[in-house]
Amino acid sequence: MLFKQSTLDEILTSEKEMIESGFDRYNDYYQNASDVIEVFRNGMIQSICPSCSIFCRFFSQVDKHLVLALFSTLRLHSAQCTMNLRHVLEAGTWAAYALAHKNLGDFINSDIDSDIDFQRLGNERYKWLESNFSDDVKNIKVLKELLNKFFTHSNILSANQTCRNNTKAEAFETQFFDYENEKTVKCELVLIAKSAISIMGLLYKVNQKYEGFKIQDEWETKYCDLDSKIEISRDHVT
């Protein structure tokens, strides 16, 4: 499909059209990503313990960036999609960590006069998760490493998404939207769905031990069904 992008008004109109045409353009790949986000947002948690306010903050951040990742790939902004997914994975592991660590002191430095050492705190989070939930956090680390290696930093591959050499016209062509590549978008939709499934699985395991929230009755059935569909989609697109 061709989307107008010469003016800001055209871009705004086209981006709305891109989101609304998600299923028509990408069928089950879109549907699976949309469904798993809906389950994460409205089909997993019934209630949260009052002591888990930090968990709630990070859960909300995952929620936001999952939706933004979906909108970004549909709107042909691959870099924006993957950067949002990086936030999803980071916030998701923080949310899992927060189920067991409810004191704000576990998320900031003890010395209030120093800068917050997020690198050290992040390493402590992963160290704890790997010691207690190694199988569940392993896939998340693989996904994050994949994003960091290829997608969340500028490189010649990402630079090629909005610029082409028109040999016939002997000129360069640039545009606002990425040049649409069906396989790329399908891969990103699978990656979005897989990220959401992985975070939900980790939260579920941690919550079984620390009981920070109550699970909705039908969640596990929906989770298993979507997990199977996502694996089928991944096999077909790769």
CB 91 within 8 A of CB 62: yes
**For residue 118, how far is the Cα from the chain centroid?**
20
Per-residue pLDDT band for 111 (boundaries 50, 70, 90) equals low
Number of domains in the chain: 1
Is 0.85 topped by the overall pTM? Answer: yes
* Inside any domain, residue 90: yes
pLDDT of res. 176: 94
CA distances from 201 to 67, 140, 197 (A): 18, 10, 6
pLDDT in tens, 69-108: 999 999 999 999 999 999 999 999 999 999 999 988 888 8
In a domain, 172, yes or no: no
Strands (E), 126-209: 163-166, 171-174
pLDDT tens for each residue of 36-69: 999 999 999 999 999 999 999 999 999 999 999 9
Q: In angstroms, rounded to a whole number, what is the distance separating the alpha carbons of residues 228 and 238?
A: 16
Task: Please give the residue range of the domain that contains residue 188.
Answer: 25-108+117-152+183-237
DSSP label of 40: I
How confident is the model over 212-227, as a mean pLDDT? 95
